[in-house]
Amino acid sequence: MTEQKFKTLKEFYPFYLSEHRNLTSRILHFIGTGLVVLLFITAMLFHNFQFLIAIPFVGYGFAWVGHYFFEKNKPATFKYPLFSLASDFILFWDLLSGKQPFNSNDHSS
């Protein structure tokens, strides 16, 4: 089977959603991305940039637990780091706004 190559975020996002079907995984991604946003805001508000050090550990920590233990797949971060990062924030917003349900087998955007 030939591996698909993605050239745009629009092409990548449906694949990203297909790798994030599990309810627990989506919740973990949502929590991790939310904490990343809070860490960034905290760092800026308090001019304490040590909070920035925690961002990759918090963000990836929650996401990778979701992948390894619940999705049982390899995070797309390794092959598509920028598309994956952008998709984390798109999914966060889609979940927050109700555009995407927390648990769904329907991956239409």
Cβ-contact 27, 91 below 8 angstroms: no
Q: What is the pLDDT of residues 4-36, one digit of tens each?
A: 899 999 999 999 999 999 999 999 999 999 999
Tell me the pTM: 0.87
Q: What is the pLDDT of residues 38-76, one digit of tens each?
A: 999 999 999 999 999 999 999 999 999 999 999 999 999
Is 106 inside any structural domain?
A: no
Torsional sign, CA 95, 101, 102, 104: negative
Q: How many domains does the chain have?
A: 1
Is 38 inside any structural domain?
A: yes
Is 56 inside any structural domain?
A: yes
Q: Is 103 left (phi over 0), alpha (psi -120 to 50) or beta?
A: beta
Q: Which residues form the domain of 49?
A: 9-97
Is 104 inside any structural domain?
A: no
CA gap 95, 55 in Å, rounded: 20
Is 4 inside any structural domain?
A: no
Is 80 inside any structural domain?
A: yes
The residue count for the chain = 109
Is 21 inside any structural domain?
A: yes
Is 108 inside any structural domain?
A: no
CA gap 86, 98 in Å, rounded: 18
Position of tokens 């390794």? 78
**In a 10 Å sphere around its CB, with 0-12 CB exposed, 13-18 middle and 19+ buried, how is residue 33 labelled?**
buried
